Structure formats: structure tokens, C-alpha cells
Structure 1
Amino acid sequence: MTGTPSSPSLAAQTFAGSYGAVALAAYEPDEAMFARQLLSIQAQTHKEFVCLISVDGNVERVQGIVKRTCGDDDRFRVLGYDNRLGFHHNFERALKEVPAEARWVALSDQDDYWYPQKLTKLLPYLDDSALVTCQARVVSAEISMTDPDPAKGELTDRKNVGAADLFANNQVTGSLCAFRREVLDLALPFPSLAAPSQYHDHWIALCAMAGKGVRIEDLVLQDYVQHGGNVVGESSQSLVGSIRNTFRFVRRYEGNASPRSICRIIYKTGLGWRTLMARTLLQRGQPAGQPFPADLTEALDVYAKPRTVRLVQLLAGGWRRRNVPMMRVLEILLGAVFRPWCR
């Protein structure tokens, strides 16, 4: 869904009071920030939900924090796992446990802070869209916990884009979004690639684009807390930072920093993850048997069987529209260059 969305339909607010699920992925959380986030979810003005907390190791500690914070509120359920899978598949574990009767799903990080009306304001937009994303105040943990004024701090700048630009540069941050439950019919199980670019929210966004679309609303409904433990965070891209991250990730995911390993991680991070998502979507098809939207079909065709000229054209268009930063364009095109080294 592109352009400027209209207000949610007043004729049928089918999602406004509906039952849903909040999927929260936890890993060695800071107790103060985690408890504060749990309380912000508990204080939502929309009360009809279950909060599924998937723990990526050290289950007993998280259970204790949840019990001390939420008391006997049986909406909060800890899913105990001792094996660590990483944030991508930890979210997947939580989403696999979403109850059949849930009509919507919202994703939550362990250390943000939701404003009380977040769900109440977001859910009505699902009447007309498969997924909706809000904006957030980007602040440090200290400021978030001491200065509640939403007007103070930088804001995220997510925006509505077409399928090709969403493929290249994700606009959907998981912790800011809510989506229809049927998106999971296409999204699960998650595609998997041993690379730092495999993001659950990017994949879910494209699955939503295959249905009733993605919309971004300029509603500031939470704090997006930045600290040293962020998996991704909200930061500007630079050439030096990208090179530093490449060497950090190549040792983690490839085991060494040989030239071939560096080529593999650059390919996976840029083009490889997008090719995997495109091929997975094409393989699964639409659950209802209907064709994908035309702009998504074009993007799927380009990324599933990458051809350099068409890829350059697609990325150049996104850059001209100011939806795809040059660093992302270079990252993907370098992946195309190094692709032969990955066979």
C-alpha cells in the first residue's frame, strides 16, 4: 500500500475491540527496563490480549521478573526454552504459539516502552490493511525512564513505500507494528539464513504486502530505547561502520575472515537474504490462491532470479525516490558481484 493512507473506516471497526496476541522475545533482559516494558503492556487501554514471552535461555530468571512485575495477570505467559536460537527464530517460536482465536498480533522488544493507547490507536487500521506501523521516540534508556515527554527526543521516520523499495530497505520495525493473524499463514515457518540480515520484521512486512498491504501512520506511540545491547537499533549508516560490521559478522557467521568468507557474508547480508525471501514467497504462493499484487510480483521476479541490469534499475528507482539509501544500494549490488563466490 503506497501513498498517504486515509483514516480507518468508520463503518466497520472490526479490530478495535478484538482479541489478539503480543509476542515478546526475551534474552537476558535488564530487569528494570524489562519490568517497565511489561508494565506498559499491562497498562494498555486495549485489554483483550495474551502476551507470549519467548525466552532465549535462562528461563527461570525471566519467569521470576514476570511474576514479580505482573503478579497474577494470566495474560502474561512465559514460554520456556533453554536453547538459544537468536532473535529471529526466538520471535518465530513465540508466533507459533499464537492462539487460533487471536485476530491480530503485535510484536514487542524487551526494553522499549509503550504508551497506554498504542494498541487502541493501531488496531482499527487493520480493518483495511494487513499490517500497520507507528512511529516512535528514539531515546536512551535513561531519558525514557526519567523524562516521559513524547515531544523530547528524535523520532523514527518510517514511511509508506512500494514493494520494490520495501524489499531493498525495510520500513517495518517489528516492535512498532501490529498485523492481522492471517499474515502468519504465509510467514511461518520463517526462512533462515546464517547472516546478520535475516530479520523477522522484514519478512513479516513482505508477507503482509502480499495481502492487504502495509501502512505507516505518523502516530508516536512508544519509546524506542537505544542502548549498548540493541540487536539492531536506530543508527545512521556509514561506510566505516559498514566495513567494521562486515568484519565483525564474518567471524561470527563464517568462522574466519578469509576473502571467500568476506564475499559470502557480503552476499548474504545484501542480496542473499532478499533472494531467499523472494523465492520463499513464490514457493508458498498466496494461501487463497490469488495472485500477488503487481508491484510485489515485479520485485519478486527481480530478486528471485537476480539479473544485474534489472536489479540496478530497481535500486536506482528507490534511490531517486529517496526510499533506499546509497549504502543499501551498494550493499545489495556488492552482493550481486560476489554471488559467484558463494556457490
Structure 2
Amino acid sequence: MTQPILVVMAVFRPSEDHLEQQMASIARQTGASPHLIAVIADTRSAPEVERAAEATGLPVTLVHCDTELDSVRAFEAGLIEAVDRADASVAAGEPEPLIALSDQDDIWHDDRLLRGIEALSDGTAQMAHGDARLVDGDGSTVLHQSMFRFERRIKQPRLRGLLYRNNITGMTLLMRPRVARVALPFPRQAGVHYYHDLWLGLIAEATGGVRYVDRPLVDYRQHGGNVMGAIDRQSGWLKSRGGRKLPDMAWLRREAASYALARFLAQSVRNRLQDAEFDGRLPSGTAKTRGLKPYLRGTLGSETHVWDALTLALRGHLALARIAAGFAVVSAGRVGWTLQQALGPARDRAIDDFDRRLYSMSPGVSPEPAKSAEPKKLTAHNYEGQVDARKEPKWTPEFTADGPSLTVLVPTLNPSEIFAGIATAVDIGLGLAQRGIPVRFVATDLPVSSAAASRGFLLRRMKSGAGSSAGAHISVHCGQTQETIPAHADDLYLATAWWTAHGAEKLIRRHGMTQPRFYYLIQDFEPNFYPWGPEFADACASYTFDFEPIFNTALLRDFFADQGFDFATPDSLAFRPSIDVTRYAEAPRTAGGEGPRRLALYGRPEVARNMYGTAVEALARFVTERNLGPADVKIVSIGLPHPPLSLPNGLTLESLGKLPWEDYPGYLAGSDLGLSLMYSPHPSHPPIEMAASGMRVVTNGFGPKDLSRLSKAILSAEPEARAIADALSRAWDMPPVTDDERRIDLASLGASMDETIDRLAANIAPLLRRDAA
């Protein structure tokens, strides 16, 4: 059986002849079964790829892009797809494929993949790569037999050597999927300062090693369209040596830029590998980063670069020796600058601060400055610094879109930052896209680290069975980094937080949008997130705009109605929490055996509305009044990690932080009591999940919110410590939760998410069709 290979290719305005020749060479590979993943980086070359695939018989999967991608981001998008396909193969019990990268216009030798497979056969190496033969644009004339010899590359530079100069060419590499799983998403960069093959090579070298195949595997075309052509990087430097000037500031800046990139990548590798070992992508102890030490130290490191420079020079690699020497100079300069700062302005500030503290002891005031001293000049600053920047869209609509869309304004689209309320907003947008509504997602607050990663996350979050066309209805944009974003005069906006409501109102008013109203996803009474002041007032002001509300639960809608807001009518859209009650209600109970009972607190000290301090005070009252000790109860905190907390009677509140999603129901099923507070009209999920799991739960009421109406397993108390402690005491004495109490019907909290999106789509579709016409 041949080895399955996923070949990732970035396609950007290709020569059709070259593209077909390259795909034919991939299809001819011996000892491998290649499947092409073609990233359409120019957004328009899909037909050419499909024609070439049909002509060569090469199976292909297309990855479409919303905007043009550079080569780094294009390969990132392709690797996301490759990892998904590799995971699916493993889940189906099929052999795990390897991953190769390919340019669009080179020609692979027939054994290109086979040689890589053989190099990886020892089971430890994570990547293999090889040499290339340089040919001219027509592919017939050999310019040089070896890229390695032409560019004077070191064959085995190891980890630190890769940061002096990368020796891995992406078109020749073959790697295990684990490398890509750890490497994705690529670290952010402004423009292109490093290429994907270097980042992948660093990850592979640090997690098992890289093998070099000492023979050409590819014919590398040299023509005017190369992103990076082959260059003899040493000869020019040596030939001009006689007339070279002494190092100056321009030289130092160039060396500093190179050193900065190496240090950035070294620290990014170290941090990524730590995360990978923490979250299980790598077995503990796999990562070997000793070679990166000079870049990871706070001060020392220049001496290692000096030693490398001497070693490389003695081995005849003078250009690399020069790079290492430059790194030594910059590293030493970094330490010198740090000492200068510490012994200069920072020292003066520290001494002044100490003196102020000293004088506060006696006589209580600092000495007055001499009247003859010239007063310090105050520098005027711009008024814009006093205005909340989140309210101001940082991009300009570019009215080039073919038709109107719903533009969803969300603070972030980075997968690692999408939680809770943002996830709900994203799901509404995706649900509308699945119903045929064009949806444009715009990140308003944080730069999009990787458009490909964000788009891949959105596509994976879509419900199964959405159809292959659903992805064509969404696009991803960054309001922080894009000066313009495609728009249409008939666009609709969906605001998802109070400051995005200000942004939607300004976009509509300033640019004369046809639709005067926007949709506003209201998930809490946001003014109460702040003390009285500008943010409180601005959040309140967002409720004065012209919008159609979408409420997260009927309870929140009722709260707004109680506060006198006219837009909160019984007909206003309101959806119930997206909680899979069955997932918790059907989990077998494991609590109730011998030993102490377990009480689980939803503990988030950093989030004021979760009332961590009140919960702790109530727990202390409860265990004191009931005289409970370690033999009676074990108290744990789940939510956000925090230090252990001592409680009366020798008890300790231990924090488990955020539990893995797959372990969460089982843990709740093994707990007896729950305490989850939310000082807000919004019903949080944990009390409902705990009750469905068979726990007695104490929570608090707020305005019309009374979760005890959902189940007798939930006790709702006034939001103060004594009342909560009394409720805990009652729950302690109550019998086990029955199966009927675990079956919680959420219909009273609003329509299902699907019903809400159906109704929303029915409202939006005619507006877009009417105005588009």
C-alpha cells in the first residue's frame, strides 16, 4: 500500500502550462498516493487548477480565499485544511497521511516523495527535505545542479543555525502532520519577514529532528515571477570586500532587524512548544529547545554568537560567520542599552519615588522646588486620546461589493479569543449564512492574527449538513488593519456590543447607507459593567439608536421592558441559552458514595458580576454554621484558575480552572452541590448545567430572573452572603435530585437558536433582495 500524501500548493496567477507540468509531476510520484490541496491565493484561479487536475488525473481539493493572500498565509490556509483531512483519516481508522508543500511552477522528480518517505522511516524525524536543481523558465536548461552548493547552504545547521540562515526550501519538504498541528496558526507578522518553511523547520527540528536528503528532488524554475529565487548570498559580499565601508548605523540597523526576527522566532517556538505540551498536542518532554538559549535569556547570549562566528569562519562559511558576529554585536548592544536605561531615567524615577515615600513619613511633604527653577514645559496632547477609540470605525467602506450583505461587527475573530458572547454572535452570523444570507464578518477591536485560521474556524463551527455552498456566503475582514473593507450601499449591520453599536450608527450616518436601522444583539445590560462615567453613559446611549433588538433570553428582554425601554416588546426576538440539556441530564450520576460530599463553585475572581467575594463569604458562613470539615465536604472552584483559598474548619477552596469540554459533564455528575452566582439579568449557563447533571444548585435572583422556576434542583436566593449561605444549608439537607428535576425545559427563556435565526433570516432576506434590486 502506498503512503498517502497531502500536497499543499499556493496558487497565484499561474502560468497554465507550468501549473499543468507541475501537477503532472506530482501525479507521477512513485511510492506515494498524492492528493493536492490547492489554495486559490489570488481568489480567481480555481478554473485553471480544475482543468489541470482533470488533465493530469490528480485528485484535488480547492481552498477558496476571500482576499488575495501572500505565500505565507496561503500555505497556512492549506495546512489548516491538510490537518483537518489528516485528523479525519485517523478518526476513520485509515493511515495517517504525510504533508508536502509545493510551488505552482516547479517540476518534481519522480522520486521526490519516496525519498522523503524513506528519510522519515526511522520514526523519530519530523521532517525531511532535500536539494533542488536550478533550471530556467522553460524548464529545459539547467542553470546549476545544486541549490545547496550554489547558495553555500549548510546541510545540517541544527536549531540555532536555522536562525542564522534557513536551509529548508518548502518545495522539497515532507513532514508529519504533528508539525503542522503544533505550528498552526503561524505567529503574526506585519508583512512578510519570515517564510513558512523556516517556521515549520524550527518546529520540526525542536520536536524530533529534520533529515536532509543529499540529492536534487525538484527542478526549481528561475524566472521573473519567483517569490524567492536562488541567490549566491556569499559571493557578492566577498567580492565587494575590498571597497566595503566600516560598519555604520545603516549596517547596525540591518543586523538588528535580522537579530530581532531570530529572537522573535526563537521565543515564539519556545512558547508554542510549551503550549503544545500543556494542551496535549505534544507528549511531555518532547520539545528540545536548548539551541535557542542565546535568544531566550534576558541579558546573556552574545558570547554564544561570538563562538558560533568563530566556528563558522573556521569551517569556511564566512557569510554565516558575519551574520553570527552581527548577532553578537546587537545582543551585546541590547544589554548595554538596558544597563544605560536602568542607571539613567529609570534610576532617577526609582530614587524620586523612594524619596517621596521617605518624606511622607516626616515631615509629610516633599521639599518645594526652587522658585528660580525654570518650570517644566507641558506638551500638548490630542483630544482624540480622551475619546473611547472603540466607538470609531478604523476602516472606510469601499463600495465595490457586487450585492448587499449583513455585516457582523465583532470585537475579535481570532479562534483563541472567541468565547461566550462573541461565540453566540458568530453562530448567529454563520446560521444566517447557512440560510443563504451573505455575511461579512468584521473584527473591530483586535487584529486578525490569521485570516485563514479565522475562516477555517468559522467553517468548522458551521453545523454539519450546511452544504458546500454555505462557506461561499461568508467573508472575513479586519477593521484594525484594513484601511478599506468591501461594502454595498444596501448593507445591513449587526452590532454585538455597545461600542460596535456606536460604530454601526456612525457607518450608516456618515456613508448614507440605504438601511437606516441596524440589528443589535443584546446579551446583557452592559452599562452595569462599568462605574458611573463615560463608558456607562456610552453603553446607555447605544440603546437610543435606531435598531432592531435580538435578546439573549426573554428574561433579559423583560428586564429591559421593566427599565422602560420601548424597544423591548413581547414580539422582540429572544432566544434561549444554547445548552444541550440532554448531554448533562443523561450523564450517569457518580456522586453520593462514601467520603466527603463535593461542592463545586463557579469561581471567576476576575469577573465582578460572578460575585466571587460574595460566594466565598457565603461558603465561610455555611461551613461555620454547619460545622463542616474536610471529612464532610470538599470544595472546588471551576471557571477561571486562581490560587487556593483557606476556609474555616481546615477547609481549602481548590481551583481547577476551566475544565476540558469533554470532561465537564462527568465532573458535574460526580458533584453533590453547586454554587454559581451572576449579578446580572442574564442567566448564566452553569446553574442550568449543574442542575441537569443532578446537583442541588444555589444561585441568585436579579430583577425578573428566577432560575428556580426551571427546576426544583435550583434554589434562587437574594444576592447577599447571608441569604446564599442559608440556601446552601437548605440544599445540603435536601434529598438527591430526581430524574424529573434534571429534565429542564428552556422554552420559557425564549425560542431556540434555530427558530430565532429562521425568523431573523426571514426578516433580513427581503430587505437585501429589495434593496439589491
TM-score w.r.t. the length of structure 1 is 0.76
- Which of 236, 239, 247 is residue 232 of structure 2 equivalent to? 236
The structure-2 alpha-carbon separation of the partners of 1:241 and 1:226, relative to structure 1 and needing over 3 Å to count, comes to farther
Residues 263 and 338, structure 1, Cα contact 8 Å, conserved in 2 = no
Superposed displacement of residue 336, structure 1: 4.7
1:118 aligns with 2:112: yes
Q: Distance in 2 between matches of 1:179 and 1:52?
A: 15
Residues 42 and 70, structure 1, Cα contact 8 Å, conserved in 2 = no
**Alignment-derived partner of residue 162 in structure 1:** 158
Pairwise mapping of residues 202-213 of structure 1 onto structure 2 (< 5 A)?
A: 202-213=198-209
Q: Distance in 2 between matches of 1:265 and 1:80?
A: 37
Moved more, 330-339 or 315-324: 330-339
Superposed displacement of residue 154, structure 1: 2.7
Superposed displacement of residue 65, structure 1: 1.4
Superposed displacement of residue 231, structure 1: 1.3
Percent sequence identity is 25
**Alignment-derived partner of residue 144 in structure 2:** 153
Q: Distance in 1 between matches of 2:126 and 2:226?
A: 27
Pairwise mapping of residues 43-58 of structure 1 onto structure 2 (< 5 A)?
A: 43-58=28-43
**Alignment-derived partner of residue 39 in structure 1:** 24
Alignment RMSD: 3.1
The structure-2 alpha-carbon separation of the partners of 1:165 and 1:263, relative to structure 1 and needing over 3 Å to count, comes to closer
- Which of 190, 196, 200 is residue 200 of structure 1 equivalent to? 196
1:282 aligns with 2:267: no
The structure-2 alpha-carbon separation of the partners of 1:51 and 1:334, relative to structure 1 and needing over 3 Å to count, comes to farther
- Which of 84, 87, 96 is residue 68 of structure 2 equivalent to? 84
Cα deviation per residue 1:259-315 (whole Å; 9 max; x = unaligned)?
99x9777533x112211211112112242111533xx41x21112346433333334
Q: Distance in 1 between matches of 2:102 and 2:134?
A: 15
- Which of 75, 78, 87 is residue 94 of structure 1 equivalent to? 78
1:66 aligns with 2:30: no
Unaligned runs of 5+ in 2: 90-95, 241-248, 339-773
Secondary structure at 1:328's aligned position in 2?
A: helix
**Alignment-derived partner of residue 20 in structure 1:** 5
Superposed displacement of residue 126, structure 1: 1.1
Superposed displacement of residue 52, structure 1: 0.6
Q: Distance in 2 between matches of 1:94 and 1:232?
A: 19
**Alignment-derived partner of residue 174 in structure 1:** 170
1:215 aligns with 2:237: no
Residues 26 and 110, structure 1, Cα contact 8 Å, conserved in 2 = yes
Superposed displacement of residue 80, structure 1: 1.1
Residues 32 and 114, structure 2, Cα contact 8 Å, conserved in 1 = no
1:185 aligns with 2:181: yes
Residues 120 and 211, structure 2, Cα contact 8 Å, conserved in 1 = no
Residues 28 and 58, structure 1, Cα contact 8 Å, conserved in 2 = no
The structure-2 alpha-carbon separation of the partners of 1:26 and 1:206, relative to structure 1 and needing over 3 Å to count, comes to same
**Alignment-derived partner of residue 138 in structure 1:** 134
Cα deviation per residue 1:300-342 (whole Å; 9 max; x = unaligned)?
111234643333333433443445624533664576588779x
Unaligned runs of 5+ in 1: 1-15, 243-258
Runs ≥4 residues deviating over 6 A: 262-265, 337-341
The structure-2 alpha-carbon separation of the partners of 1:263 and 1:331, relative to structure 1 and needing over 3 Å to count, comes to closer
Tell me the amino acid that sits aligned with residue 212 of structure 2.
Answer: I
**Alignment-derived partner of residue 320 in structure 1:** 314
Tell me the amino acid that sits aligned with residue 198 of structure 2.
Answer: H
The structure-2 alpha-carbon separation of the partners of 1:92 and 1:318, relative to structure 1 and needing over 3 Å to count, comes to farther
Superposed displacement of residue 183, structure 1: 0.9
Tell me the amino acid that sits aligned with residue 108 of structure 2.
Answer: W
Secondary structure at 2:38's aligned position in 1?
A: strand
Cα deviation per residue 1:213-252 (whole Å; 9 max; x = unaligned)?
111111222201111111111111234999xxxxxxxxxx
Secondary structure at 2:305's aligned position in 1?
A: helix
Secondary structure at 1:97's aligned position in 2?
A: helix
- Which of 248, 265, 271 is residue 259 of structure 2 equivalent to? 271
**Alignment-derived partner of residue 571 in structure 2:** none
Cα deviation per residue 1:203-222 (whole Å; 9 max; x = unaligned)?
11111111221111112222
Larger Rg: 1 or 2? 2
Residues 137 and 224, structure 1, Cα contact 8 Å, conserved in 2 = yes
Superposed displacement of residue 17, structure 1: 2.6
The structure-2 alpha-carbon separation of the partners of 1:241 and 1:21, relative to structure 1 and needing over 3 Å to count, comes to farther
TM-score w.r.t. the length of structure 2 is 0.36
Residues 20 and 105, structure 1, Cα contact 8 Å, conserved in 2 = yes
**Alignment-derived partner of residue 4 in structure 1:** none
Q: Distance in 1 between matches of 2:40 and 2:320?
A: 34
